Amino acid sequence: MKAELFDALMAYREAKSPVAMVTRLEGGEQALVSVDGTEGPLALTDQLVVEARTRMRDDRSGISTDGAHFVHVHNPPLRMIVVGAVHISQMLAPMAALAGYAVTIVDPRASFATEDRFPGVDLSDDWPDEALEALKPDSRTAIVTLTHDPKLDDPALQVALKSDAFYIACLGSKRTHARRLERLREDGFSDRDFARLHGPAGLDIGAVSPAEIAISVLAEMTAVKHGAEPLKAAA
């Protein structure tokens, strides 16, 4: 690996930006494929660039379909920030951790966000907008608001919608969500922003219990991550 490519790779990692190192197995020439560009001495076909980006999206390193290259995906860690240390969060946090997410739960109400209720989960008792600004959501971060309280959810969404978070979702009925959009519109957000906002959070799988609701949210998050929208039933 050339020194300058190694340095470029480290710079992408530092910036928490997804990148893939493509190596030609015969000869060892290499190039980096990022979300919006390529660099390095190895000449890449369009097909290979597309495949590298698909692999980045799916977080799946491997030998390319042409059999001649290795695509090594270097993605920032997956993160999920949950606003609201509520009963659904108690289900969602361990499920998301199993799915590979580093979970942080934000709730300024100290009696909700306790180590007893969330063993082994990172907790923040900062106000949600401050907490999110400090956590710097990137393109591998999902943000879910679950408090039902505009006083807590809205400031979080204001920061979330300005970030690169790949998934932003809010719990609450259709009516609650419509009122939420009205408030955000008054704050200057537009339909383009709302296209990224999943509300009510989760897939319509008839979920009732907190665990089922957590599954529906995690399923929607997974679909968005892999670009599997619009959703189809699994074959």
Would you tell me which residues interact with another protein (CB under 8 A)?
A: 1-3, 6, 9-10, 13, 23, 25, 27-28, 61-63, 70, 72-74, 77, 94, 97-98, 100-104, 120-122
> In angstroms, what is the minimal distance from the CB of 34 to another protein?
16
Residue nearer to another protein on the CB measure, 95 or 181: 95
Q: Which residue has the tokens 């990148």?
A: 19
> In angstroms, what is the minimal distance from the CB of 94 to another protein?
7
> In angstroms, what is the minimal distance from the CB of 62 to another protein?
5
Residues, the chain: 235
Residue nearer to another protein on the CB measure, 27 or 230: 27
Tokens describing residue 18: 């997804």
Residue nearer to another protein on the CB measure, 94 or 210: 94
> In angstroms, what is the minimal distance from the CB of 138 to another protein?
15
Q: Does residue 99 sit in helix, strand or coil?
A: coil
Residue nearer to another protein on the CB measure, 2 or 136: 2
The Cα–Cα gap between 213 and 208 comes to 6
Residues 6+ apart with CB under 8 A from 157: 145, 168, 170, 180, 184, 197
> In angstroms, what is the minimal distance from the CB of 175 to another protein?
34
**DSSP secondary structure of 25-93:** TTT--EEEEESS-EESSS---HHHHHHHHHHHHHT--EE-TTSSEEEEEEPPPPEEEEE--SHHHHHHH
Residue nearer to another protein on the CB measure, 119 or 227: 119
Tokens describing residue 85: 């240390």
